[in-house]
Amino acid sequence: MKRGARLAFTYQGERLKENVESLTSSEMPGSLVLPCDVTKSEEVAETFERTKQEFGKLDFLIHSIAFAPREALDGEYLATTRDAFLTALEISAYSLAQVARAATPLMAEGGSIVTMTYYGAEKVVGGYNVMGVAKAALEASVRYLAADLGPRNIRINAISAGPLQNAFSPRRLGPQYDDEASCRTGTVTPQC
């Protein structure tokens, strides 16, 4: 990086490894690239141990992890299965507490943790279903983690980038985002 930052990136599963390596090798050569499946506690522990060995400390952590089975996003939220609910909450919300816990010893001098949320945590958004519930849990986790981490001089925040026009927008963002101008500007009239 231009200002001297050394970066580490993680990926879940071999299928995504190639994507991350391709990005980092061309744009950020020398970055540490590690596997980190947040559903495997031992892999999370190993990721942070390797990070400690390589860097000695962390200044910041970006938590940009979310997943729900596709069938839990379609149709009614009422049809969400227990397994789909638990998967979405574990990967999309619990993982923040898990990685924050692992990162805290590496932030002895303070640091910053940022996670990604979405408007669907506050308002019903068609096609978002269980992810809205997971993002609401994520936002609550941020508040509780802030209370725990603040005295350690570690800031934690959730940010929402807002709606972006892409191939999934009409299905994911709902009909209130159907026109291109509202997607670009973020102008929206929530239906719920």
pLDDT, tens digit (0-9, with 9 covering 90-100), for 133-180 = 999 999 999 999 999 999 999 999 999 986 666 655 555 555 554 444
pTM of the model: 0.82
Residue 3's alpha-carbon distances to 7, 80, 102, in angstroms, are 12, 46, 26
Q: According to the model, what pLDDT value does residue 165 have? A: 64
Does the pLDDT value for residue 2 go beyond 50? yes
User: What does the pLDDT look like over 9-21, one tens digit per residue?
Assistant: 999 988 889 889 9
**Which of 117, 121, 133, 88 has its CA nearest to residue 190?**
121
Residues marked as catalytic: 118, 128
